[in-house]
């Protein structure tokens, strides 16, 4: 990690340090902002003491970051077009990075202060969008090309649909549990609140089997949160380093000789195979011009990549311009593959293309282990502090009465599986919104009344987060650009 500061003057080193500090601060805020989602159900069902629940959540958030992969991390990085990310001069890159981080941090702290379970993901994505739009306006370039539109649309769809899906699935689990307990009356205790169990049976804690289920489902939420939101922190650091120190982070300079040869062989195979066979798919699609163009572009990018990789056994021997070109061509090939697989081509060919895409992107979609570890520590340490404000909202202010054991379990199971699947597929989703909507869905399915004022506040925060963070990052970026001119 210290090598980051060995190639820079004092001012540049200071800015790198501050940028990394801001990312870690953002991730710590994310920790205590979202920890409530995993521990509130444990605390309010008395399955575990608050302090123990928070420590457990911190540990599994850490493990989620370390073991969660990088698919979500690079979904964040690729929200900005590659040209914008790499063509900025150092001052503009710093302005971009600090505007994104400050906007996300300010909105997260504001919603935490007012006890609103708003989305850290929304604020980060909104801040990135704001930078892209402001850059387009200030440079007079096209707003259409200001952002990676396909990636933005995928993220938008996931952020909008995930709370709705959470509400429906959680409610469905309650109906399923009601059906089971109607047939087997001995399981009816699962529909008690902790207060009802204390009044009826004289016991404060939930039955052992229910307690274990609550703890395991809470562990699932914590791990899934680490895997999804922790990756966003990794993506942020990589975005910072690619922007500010491109020479060191454009491609994986620590790739082994075996990995580099494997990438080169994959590119060679891609060129040989598709140069000879792509006409079949074009004829199948009635000489589709778009498909022809995508194939042609991919083959051109493959040939350019081959030239760069010829006799290369260590990416370090490439100069910065060649590293930039290699990154650019590999990402272009990835986009070509996405476009080609959207057509009605052979199923086996689609599978092959997806596999090739995954293999070639390991050169540019990577993260040093020290980045993964410091993000994991920041998220888990943040988990230990500041969690009480949001816990109260989740535990007390969504429903008119306290959560039952069944409602808590349904909400947590829904959240852990939904977020886990999103992390595996590389979709950045909001832990906060999935869990909040799951709690509301479980209560509505049980016929419980919810507190309209709290739901309205959550919905307002949900609606406002994206536009506010877009405007905030745009304003900060515009001010920064004005000051450095």
Tell me the percentage of the chain whose pLDDT exceeds 90.
Answer: 5
More confident call, 297 vs 457: 297
Q: Which of 191-205, 369-383, 404-418 is predicted least confidently? A: 191-205
Q: What is the mean pLDDT of the chain?
A: 80
Q: Which of 75-79, 164-168, 249-253 is predicted least confidently? A: 75-79
Q: Which of 18-27, 139-148, 304-313, 420-429 is predicted least confidently? A: 139-148
- Where in the chain are the domains? 10-248+367-484, 253-363
Q: What pLDDT does 390 receive?
A: 57
- Per-residue pLDDT of 404-448, as tens digits, reads 888 888 888 888 888 888 877 777 777 777 877 888 888 888 776
pLDDT at 485 over 70: no
Q: Which of 76-85, 355-364, 369-378 is predicted least confidently? A: 76-85
Tell me the percentage of the chain whose pLDDT exceeds 70.
Answer: 83
Q: What pLDDT does 471 receive?
A: 92
pLDDT at 112 over 80: no
Region 115-143: mean pLDDT is 79
pLDDT at 35 over 90: no
pLDDT at 391 over 70: no
pLDDT at 3 over 60: no
> Using CA atoms in the order 202, 208, 210, 212, what is the torsion angle rounded to 10 degrees?
140
Q: Which long-range contacts (CB under 8 A, 24 or more apart) does 309-316 make?
A: 309/260, 309/263, 309/264, 309/267, 312/260, 312/264, 313/257, 313/260, 313/261, 314/257, 314/260, 315/251, 315/252, 315/253, 315/255, 315/260, 315/363, 316/253
More confident call, 302 vs 37: 302
Give 380's pLDDT tier (boundaries 50, 70, 90).
confident
- Per-residue pLDDT of 232-265, as tens digits, reads 889 888 888 888 888 888 899 888 888 888 888 8
């Amino acid at each position: 990690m210290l090598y980051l500061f060995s190639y820079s003057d004092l001012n540049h080193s200071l800015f790198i340090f501050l940028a990394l500090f801001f990312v870690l601060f953002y991730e710590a805020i994310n920790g205590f902002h979202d920890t409530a989602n995993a521990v509130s159900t444990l605390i309010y069902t008395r399955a575990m003491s608050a302090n123990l629940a928070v420590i457990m959540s911190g540990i599994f958030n850490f493990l989620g970051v370390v073991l969660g992969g990088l698919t979500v991390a690079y979904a964040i990085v690729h929200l900005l077009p590659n040209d914008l990310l790499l063509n900025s001069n150092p001052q503009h890159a710093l302005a971009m990075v600090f505007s994104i981080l400050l906007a996300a941090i300010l909105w997260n702290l504001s919603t935490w202060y007012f006890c609103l379970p708003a989305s850290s993901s929304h604020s980060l994505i909104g801040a990135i969008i704001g930078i892209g739009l402001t850059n387009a306006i200030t440079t007079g370039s096209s707003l259409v090309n200001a952002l990676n539109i396909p990636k933005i649309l995928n993220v938008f769809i996931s952020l909008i649909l995930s709370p709705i899906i959470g509400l429906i699935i959680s409610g469905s689990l309650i109906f399923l549990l009601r059906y089971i307990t109607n047939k087997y009356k001995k399981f009816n205790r699962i529909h008690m609140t902790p207060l009802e169990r204390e009044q009826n049976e004289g016991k404060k804690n939930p039955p052992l089997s229910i307690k274990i289920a609550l703890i395991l489902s809470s562990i699932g939420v914590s791990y899934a949160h680490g895997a999804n939101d922790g990756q966003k922190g990794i993506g942020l650091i990589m975005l910072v380093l690619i922007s500010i120190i491109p020479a060191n982070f454009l491609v994986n300079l620590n790739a082994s000789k075996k990995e580099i040869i494997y990438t080169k062989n994959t590119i060679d195979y891609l060129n040989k195979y598709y140069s000879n066979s792509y006409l079949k798919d074009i004829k199948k699609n009635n000489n589709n011009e778009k498909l022809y163009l995508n194939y042609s572009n991919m083959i051109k990018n493959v040939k350019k990549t081959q030239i760069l990789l010829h006799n290369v056994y260590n990416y370090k021997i490439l100069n910065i311009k060649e590293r930039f070109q290699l990154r650019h061509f590999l990402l272009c090939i990835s986009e070509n593959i996405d476009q080609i697989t959207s057509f009605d081509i052979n199923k086996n060919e689609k599978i092959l293309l997806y596999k090739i895409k995954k293999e070639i992107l390991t050169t540019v979609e990577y993260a040093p282990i020290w980045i993964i570890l410091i993000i994991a520590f920041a998220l888990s340490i943040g988990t230990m502090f500041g969690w009480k404000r949001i816990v109260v909202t989740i535990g007390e202010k969504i429903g008119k009465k306290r959560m039952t054991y069944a409602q808590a379990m349904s909400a947590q199971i829904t959240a852990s599986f939904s977020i886990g699947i999103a992390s595996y597929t590389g979709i950045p989703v909001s832990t906060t919104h999935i869990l909040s909507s799951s709690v509301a869905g479980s209560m509505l399915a049980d016929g419980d009344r919810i507190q309209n004022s709290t739901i309205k506040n959550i919905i307002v925060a949900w609606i406002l987060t994206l536009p506010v963070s877009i405007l905030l990052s745009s304003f900060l970026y515009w001010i920064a650009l004005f000051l450095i001119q």
